[in-house]
Structure 1
Amino acid sequence: MGCEIVREKFPDEPNQWSRLWDPHDIQQALRTSKDLERLKVIDLSCSRNLIQMSEFSSMPNLERLILEGCVSLIDIHPSVGNMKKLTTLSLRFCDQLKNLPDSIGYLESLESLDLSDCSKFVKFPEKGGNMKSLMKLDLRFTAIKDLPDSIGDLESLESLNLSFCSKFEKFPEKGGNMKSLRHLCLRNTAIKDLPDSIGDLESLMFLNLSGCSKFEKFPEKGGNMKSLMELDLRYTAIKDLPDSIGDLESLRLLDLSGCSKFEKFPEKGGNMKSLVELDLKNTAIKDLPDSIGDLESLESLDLSDCSKFEKFPEKGGNMKSLKWLYLTNTAIKDLPDSIGDLESLLSLHLSDCSKFEKFPEKGGNMKSLMKLDLRYTAIKDLPDSIGDLESLRLLDLSDCSKFEKFPEKGGNMKSLKKLFLRNTAIKDLPDSIGDLESLESLDLSDCSKFEKFPEKGGNMKSLMDLDLTNTAIKDLPDSIGDLESLKFLVLSDCSKFEKFPEKGGNMKSLIHLDLKNTAIKDLPTNISRLKNLERLMLGGCSDLWEGLISNQLCNLQKLNISQCKMAGQILVLPSSLQEIDAYPCTSKEDLSGLLWLCHLNWLKSTTEELKCWKLGAVIPESNGIPEWIRYQNMGSEVTTELPTNWYEDPDFLGFVVSCVYRHIPTSDFDEPYLFLECELNLHGNGFEFKDECCHGYSCDFKDLMVWVWCYPKIAIPKEHHHKYTHINASFESYLINIKKCGINLIFAGDQQNHMPMLEHPQNSGDNGSALQDTDGNVHGANQDDEHYHIPIVLDLLGNFGDIGSVILEGTDGNRKRRRDDSLPDVVEEPHYKRLGAPNTHLSL
């Protein structure tokens, strides 16, 4: 739009334009006119072939010259100094540029000079200090080693950036003359020290020396920088700070994190009355002076990973503004009682302090404390005063292996929302736990000695997440049913847990119930009252299966029954089910029957509201694939013809598509999950319908796996049903190999275990027309019987041969589907009650 406006009056006369972007336009303008007074902007960014700029004397009014990314540019014409109105000169990423002409000093209006990423630029011109209007000088990622003393004459300079100039070793003595300088960035340079004149930078607000691994000493007169607000010394070789640091009356941030040689904080450091954040993380500091208590504005103090820090100062409690105190992974053993005087403290972190044994009695006075992190400490108990922490929302004692007893008065923490006691030595909880009226999450997982949940625990009306994984608990009190807000209840790996409470069905909000690897034998009948339950995990409950799943669980989406004894039992599954995990299944007969019924009944029960892909199964090939898919196309794509008038057959329910795949492990890829995609394509007579599905799978499986989908007829738009003559399924994914794939139509009559059939799949590849059965026999894709084709792609019950439903082809060439009632039913229907599972993913 801007180009059009510029060119509107003189479309063919670039010498009349105020802005030029194209090298050809510039050449034309220079050829046709020696006077380019109208020209204000030249932008030749990324002109990779530009080697040298032509003479500038014909452009007296040029204001902006942009040459970014001109990687072949080797120099700038000396006449550049004649452009008295130039305010912006950008030479960023001019890789071959080594220097600038001295005439650059005559640019009296220049405000911004950008030379960043000019990797061969080695020397700033001596007369560069004459640019009296220069406000911003960017020399990042250049090869510059020093600056001329004249740099001090840049009286208007506000920002000087030399970060990542790895060869820059010395800041000029006269650099302190830049009275307007506000930002000085020397990050990751080779600088060792700063001249005393740095203290004369009376306007300096931000000084960044982070990553200067050779920088050892901060200048004594650095305390004179009265405007300095942020001093970043991270990862330097500095050992201490001069007492004059206390004179930095405007300093708000002091960052010394990662200074592994820094051992002592100055006594007069407490004079920095404006200091808000002090970061001493991962330093060699052993203690803090009492004067630290005088930091009246300090809000954040970070001493985490200071492995030698042993004692918090008694007067540290005087920091009335302190909100965040990080003592993570220090050698601290206790805290002074004065810690209770930190009236503004919001968050206290003591995790990984392996020597910390006792929380102070007066710690309960911290009325504003919201988070207390004591993970991986040696603490054994908490004082009763912990109950006085009226604002506490999170208390984390996870992995405190010596912690045995939760205080009786802990129930007084009325604001507590999260209580984590994972992997502690706790055996029980006091009845007062029920008084935690705001508690939303309680984690007792891996508390191997925890045996009994308190009767009054049911009073926690806000509790949403209760994790009892791998505890010694044997049962739950009936009051558990009173947890009206509970959404997640996890009891997995509780090997002694035998009985689910009768009133457990009262938990109206429960959406996830995990009983994996417990000793439970049955579930109460009122489990059917859990109307909001979405996930029921029963895997590894080897003694469980007694008519336990009710179709009244109307929102159940995922069911884990892996390693359950289910042979010969009755399954009644709700129509909402999306995924069944029955891996590993020890019985091929159970597997085939369950998978068959999942497919067939989901397709039969599909309604207008369920127009979508549904997963049928993800199983190891070693668990019966040869009996399921007798014929497959090798590779990742299969195409076949559709029977004539397939869309009019009321028995037609939908499609089943499948593939055999293996994950390809690689050391360069460590994601736990990848995604397998399938595209279904119906086409013919110039019409086409496509749909896609994506399934996430675990990379842990190294064996061949089989993936099976159901796709309902009702999901296919009706308007072009009669046009489609072929169906194609293709599979693809990153880091997996597709070995085989197949496709089939499912008809309602197949319920009698007649084998579903489809035309022979075809593949456009040279070898794709060959179909291979599981016995290794190869069959031609166009192999015909005398009157009809008998192509078999997917057999869910292990029925093989030329039985069941067939496709007939008459003399007129029309194909019709019929049932041969004279053919025997080879396999009886399994002893499972029908699975009303309309969107089932079966993992076996």
Structure 2
Amino acid sequence: MKELKWLHWEYHPSPFDGNNFHVKELRVLKLWGEISDKWQGWSSITMAKKLKYLNLANCRSLEGTSFLSAFENLEVLILHGCEELKQIDSSIGNMRSLECLDLTGCDLLEGLPAEVGKLKTLKQLILHWTFISSLPDSIWALQNLEILDIQAAQIENLPESVGALHNLIILNISQTNIKKLPNGIRTLRKLQYLSAANCEKLEEEIPEGIYNLSSLHHLDLSFCYKLPSLSVLPSSLKYLSITCKSRRLSSLSNLTHLKKLRLLDCESLECFGEHPSALLEKSVNTPFELEILIIVRCRRMETLDVSQFNHLRRLQVEDCDKVLEIRGLNKLEYLESLEIAASKSPKACSIERLDLPMCKKLRIFEAKSCINLIEIQGLDKLGSLEGIDISGSTSIVKLDLPKSKDMKIFNVKDCVRLVEIQGLDRWESLKGIDISGCTSIIRLDLPKSEGMKIINAKNCKNLVEIQGLNRLESLEEMDISGCESLEEIDISGCSSIVRLSLPKSDGLKILGDTNCQKLVNIQAQNSLQRTEHFAKYFIQGLGRPMFEDLRELYGGLYKSLYGV
């Protein structure tokens, strides 16, 4: 024990007997449990004068830190989740080698001692989810500080002297009560990451000096609902997330290195970027590198032009009710995911037509709840698609599907006017299909897919015929409840089927054989007469051995089989 250098100790004894417990060579210590600042073990632990790493995370009985005076060589001090901790001892100022101080989740901690300013080697100060309402003036003497995280602390003001932290790389002030960013921020030339997300009281414009932050790559101003507008931002940005009250965001035109842009809850935003013609003219010599564009709840935006973003890989437009047109889709040759979704209000999504890009890389296409969408041009040319979801797009009448060898998921739920689906029978890799609520579909032609596991055709009340069902050896679940016009199903080849939900239909013929040995859950909405017929069919067609595994019977089926 005399040479012990690393100790991770849980469920320590209390009371503590420190005889023969030698820790003078200890470098790393992690304690966990009901440790308080009055714990008897500190008398032995404080002998570890060479200690460099002390982790007391989640020691929820700890109220003070008077024991810290013994550890002047500490480099890392973690007090994460010490919920009863009320103060940090001033002796912390003697830790001349401390590089990381983590006080995350110290709910009762209201302040830091002024001696924190003496920590000349400190690189990380993490005050996430503390009750600290202000920072000591001395903190701005921390010339080596690289990370300052005060997320969800009670801090209301950042002083101008923040500009003295010349080595700061990460500044996280999100979820605080800060009302403005100080002008001093313009001198943080090494700053790479700035997050003010969810600063709902941030009400003054971002200082113009932010343009000088040539190292800034990540700027998050999402859900800053009172932010009036943006100043010109540094061209070094690669990630930008915004919520503001501006009608236009012309200041984005110089962000030629931007990779990801999120426009969230910009309720007044009518367009972003300069006039399309001016923007296109600029982009000839300075091509935009944007790869991900996400626009959510920008309810005044009517036209979206993405033609200048020719490197775009993902486009998401959600709950932008007034958008009539998305221009430039045909120019997005690298697009992999196109996601359009509307709210379920009657006025949701005004888009009537989509011209999809002739893109070899597009894998995901969604146009959910687009109730005015009538036509989708180019869908049949997208041979790399893996998933289609146009659920709730109630005006679609016909779909001409592409021949895609990788298609896995097809969802047209509640497309109530959809009458015809062409090309579905060609998708041999399909794993799931949902046409539930498609009340106009009459015929369904299924592909011969070795991986098809789920079919949901619930409440397709006009569905008369399902072709190809008997070829689906991997099918596990099928729901045709509510398909009252269905005349016949053939499950003879569905050897893996486990669950089957049936409609209330006395005329339904069920063809099958003894291959359906795994069927253990049958839900039948049948009348008693229909249920008796169904029971009789299984007795004759599948034989008694099946009922050894049959566990769940619904709709009176159990009553019909009782005693068999």
Q: Tell me if structure 2 keeps the 8 A contact 1:475–1:498.
A: yes
Which residue of the other structure, out of 341, 359, 379, is the alignment partner of 2:304?
A: 359
Matched, 1:109 2:55: no
Matched, 1:251 2:191: yes
Name the structure 1 match of 2:440. Answer: 496
Name the structure 2 match of 1:441. Answer: 387
Alignment of 1:648-663 (within 5 A): none
Amino acid at match of 2:241: D
Amino acid at match of 2:371: A
Superposition deviation, residue 459 in structure 1:
5.1
Q: Tell me if structure 2 keeps the 8 A contact 1:41–1:63.
A: no
Superposition deviation, residue 427 in structure 1:
5.2
Alignment of 1:695-774 (within 5 A): none
Name the structure 2 match of 1:301. Answer: 240
Name the structure 1 match of 2:312. Answer: 369
Report the RMSD for the aligned CA atoms in angstroms. 3.9
Which residue of the other structure, out of 217, 220, 225, is the alignment partner of 2:165?
A: 225
Name the structure 1 match of 2:271. Answer: 334
Name the structure 1 match of 2:230. Answer: 289
In structure 2, how many angstroms separate the alpha carbons of the residues matched to 1:535 and 1:201?
62
Amino acid at match of 1:382: E
Superposition deviation, residue 366 in structure 1:
0.9
Name the structure 2 match of 1:46. Answer: 11
Q: In structure 2, do the counterparts of structure 1 residues 48 and 451 end up closer, same or farther at CA, with 3 Å as the change threshold?
A: same
Q: In structure 2, do the counterparts of structure 1 residues 614 and 202 end up closer, same or farther at CA, with 3 Å as the change threshold?
A: same
Q: In structure 2, do the counterparts of structure 1 residues 564 and 121 end up closer, same or farther at CA, with 3 Å as the change threshold?
A: same
SS of the residue corresponding to residue 378 of structure 2 reads: helix
Name the structure 2 match of 1:195. Answer: 136
Which residue of the other structure, out of 182, 197, 209, is the alignment partner of 2:150?
A: 209
Report Cα offsets for 1:75-102 as digits up to 9, x if no partner: xxxxxxxxxx565666654545349999
In structure 2, how many angstroms separate the alpha carbons of the residues matched to 1:115 and 1:43?
10
Q: In structure 2, do the counterparts of structure 1 residues 562 and 616 end up closer, same or farther at CA, with 3 Å as the change threshold?
A: farther
Amino acid at match of 1:576: C
Q: TM-score normalized by structure 2?
A: 0.82
Q: Tell me if structure 2 keeps the 8 A contact 1:234–1:256.
A: yes
Q: In structure 2, do the counterparts of structure 1 residues 201 and 335 end up closer, same or farther at CA, with 3 Å as the change threshold?
A: same
Q: In structure 2, do the counterparts of structure 1 residues 344 and 599 end up closer, same or farther at CA, with 3 Å as the change threshold?
A: farther
Superposition deviation, residue 557 in structure 1:
5.5
Tell me the matched-pair count.
544
Amino acid at match of 1:211: A
Superposition deviation, residue 119 in structure 1:
2.9
Q: Tell me if structure 2 keeps the 8 A contact 1:453–1:473.
A: no
Superposition deviation, residue 45 in structure 1:
5.7
Q: Tell me if structure 2 keeps the 8 A contact 1:520–1:544.
A: yes
In structure 2, how many angstroms separate the alpha carbons of the residues matched to 1:91 and 1:506?
60
Alignment of 1:119-518 (within 5 A): 119-122=61-64, 124=66, 128=69, 132-140=72-80, 141=82, 143-148=85-90, 150-213=91-154, 215-264=155-204, 265-292=206-233, 294-296=234-236, 298-303=237-242, 306=243, 308-311=244-247, 313-331=249-267, 332-337=269-274, 343-360=288-305, 363-399=306-342, 401-408=348-355, 410-426=356-372, 428-430=374-376, 432-454=378-400, 457=401, 463-473=407-417, 475-476=419-420, 480-483=424-427, 486-500=430-444, 504=445, 511=452, 512-518=454-460
SS of the residue corresponding to residue 222 of structure 1 reads: helix
Amino acid at match of 2:209: K
Superposition deviation, residue 586 in structure 1:
0.7
In structure 2, how many angstroms separate the alpha carbons of the residues matched to 1:527 and 1:144?
67
Q: Tell me if structure 2 keeps the 8 A contact 1:63–1:88.
A: no
Q: In structure 2, do the counterparts of structure 1 residues 279 and 524 end up closer, same or farther at CA, with 3 Å as the change threshold?
A: closer
Q: Tell me if structure 1 keeps the 8 A contact 2:129–2:153.
A: yes
Moved more, 239-248 or 40-49: 40-49
Superposition deviation, residue 486 in structure 1:
4.8
Matched, 1:598 2:551: no
Q: Tell me if structure 2 keeps the 8 A contact 1:543–1:565.
A: no
Q: Tell me if structure 2 keeps the 8 A contact 1:257–1:281.
A: yes
In structure 2, how many angstroms separate the alpha carbons of the residues matched to 1:212 and 1:533?
52
Name the structure 2 match of 1:615. Answer: 550
Amino acid at match of 1:134: L
SS of the residue corresponding to residue 221 of structure 1 reads: helix
In structure 2, how many angstroms separate the alpha carbons of the residues matched to 1:41 and 1:385?
60
Identity, % of aligned positions: 21
Superposition deviation, residue 528 in structure 1:
4.9
Superposition deviation, residue 301 in structure 1:
1.6
Q: Tell me if structure 2 keeps the 8 A contact 1:549–1:573.
A: no
In structure 1, how many angstroms separate the alpha carbons of the residues matched to 2:446 and 2:108?
72
Report Cα offsets for 1:659-713 as digits up to 9, x if no partner: xxxxxxxxxxxxxxxxxxxxxxxxxxxxxxxxxxxxxxxxxxxxxxxxxxxxxxx
Q: Tell me if structure 2 keeps the 8 A contact 1:458–1:481.
A: no
Unaligned runs of 5+ in 2: none
Q: TM-score normalized by structure 1?
A: 0.57
Superposition deviation, residue 137 in structure 1:
3.4
SS of the residue corresponding to residue 554 of structure 2 reads: strand
SS of the residue corresponding to residue 119 of structure 1 reads: coil
Name the structure 1 match of 2:484. Answer: 542
Matched, 1:566 2:542: no
Q: Tell me if structure 2 keeps the 8 A contact 1:545–1:565.
A: no
Q: Which has the higher contact order (CA 8 A, sep 6+)?
A: 1
Amino acid at match of 2:265: N
